[in-house]
Structure 1
Amino acid sequence: MPADVNLCEHCTAKCCKYFALPIDTPTEPKDFDYIRWYLLHDRASIFIDDNVWYLLVHTTCRHLQSDNRCGIYFTRPQICRDYHTDGCEYEDDWTYDHYFETPEQVEEYVEARYGRGKGPGDRSQSIRSPRPIGLPLVS
């Protein structure tokens, strides 16, 4: 957007349609099991950015109006008051170091990172499909 344009006139309210909270970095099986539990809930995901783990909840603020303006602008919480357009996500196409939407993705991450039997529930069997057997050579 050009510098003289009021960004709020074009707002899609990305920042009012989710919230993300840092969570403790998982270090043992029960920690990963909590993460799996978060992901069993509708509209929740987990991401890692700069080695910090976050719980992301996709939910719209109840005071967001149909024109993407705040319905309680003059009494909005301080976190909203501290948010300025210089950090706005309007043109942001952010990507994360890791992004998890399902418990199975977490299990696969744990297995890939720590090996078999180290993840949630300490399963001794891999959650991945077995490696396919090679096809016989035809001569």
Structure 2
Amino acid sequence: MITVAEHARKPNRDELPKGANLCEYCTGKCCRYIALPIDTPTKWKDFDEMRWYLSHKDISIFVEDESWYLMVHRDCEHLLEDNRCGIYLDRPQICRDHTTDDCEYDDDFTYEKIFENDVQLWEYAEVVLGPKRVRERSWGVLPIGG
């Protein structure tokens, strides 16, 4: 049996009692973000569009298994304080299809690549595509071309 002190430290999957409901020990990771696939950037215009995404709050972009994703860091409106679903019996199908078999319970959110702001992404683009020429305007510096 897991003690209260051990419960405060999230136990590893293999430390849980056989048949235990994994969600009882979870922090609700799967209910705290949305990840949507996006096209792999191949030119400056693609990176510039992604730069716009990253200019907004609570957004990041990550790469996993060579696929690119836009991540929106926002809790589900139905997530309760105990990390359970407030509409469990009437939850969306995507939630019904989700299982704990391969969920991110044990993951520490490590990705092949992650970009948390537009500067990180732009620096990566310069490594991949080469330095971007810029032209200056009286109100700032603009990238040239697309």
TM-score normalised by structure 1 residue count: 0.81
Partner residue of 1:54 out of 31, 46, 69: 69
2:143 equivalent in structure 1:
121
1:61 maps to amino acid: C
Deviations 1:17-76 (A, max 9, x none): 001000011122111111000001100000111211100110000000111110111110
1:76 maps to amino acid: R
1:85 partnered with 2:95: no
2:75 maps to amino acid: T
1:72 maps to amino acid: I
User: Offset of 1:88 from its aligned partner?
Assistant: 2.1
Contact 2:60 2:116 (8 Å CA) reproduced = yes
Distance in 1 separating the partners of 2:88 and 2:133 = 48
1:33 equivalent in structure 2:
48
Q: Structure 1 residues 122, 52: closer, same or farther in 2, change over 3 A?
A: farther
2:33 equivalent in structure 1:
18
Distance in 1 separating the partners of 2:64 and 2:24 = 30
Aligned residue pairs total 123
Q: Structure 1 residues 81, 54: closer, same or farther in 2, change over 3 A?
A: same
SS at the partner of 1:90? helix
List alignment gaps of at least 5 residues for structure 1. Answer: 124-139
1:69 partnered with 2:79: no
Distance in 1 separating the partners of 2:98 and 2:130 = 41
User: Offset of 1:7 from its aligned partner?
Assistant: 1.1
Identity %: 56
Distance in 2 separating the partners of 1:75 and 1:118 = 53
1:103 equivalent in structure 2:
118
Distance in 1 separating the partners of 2:91 and 2:113 = 32
Distance in 2 separating the partners of 1:74 and 1:121 = 51
Distance in 2 separating the partners of 1:91 and 1:37 = 32
RMSD: 1.9
2:88 maps to amino acid: Y
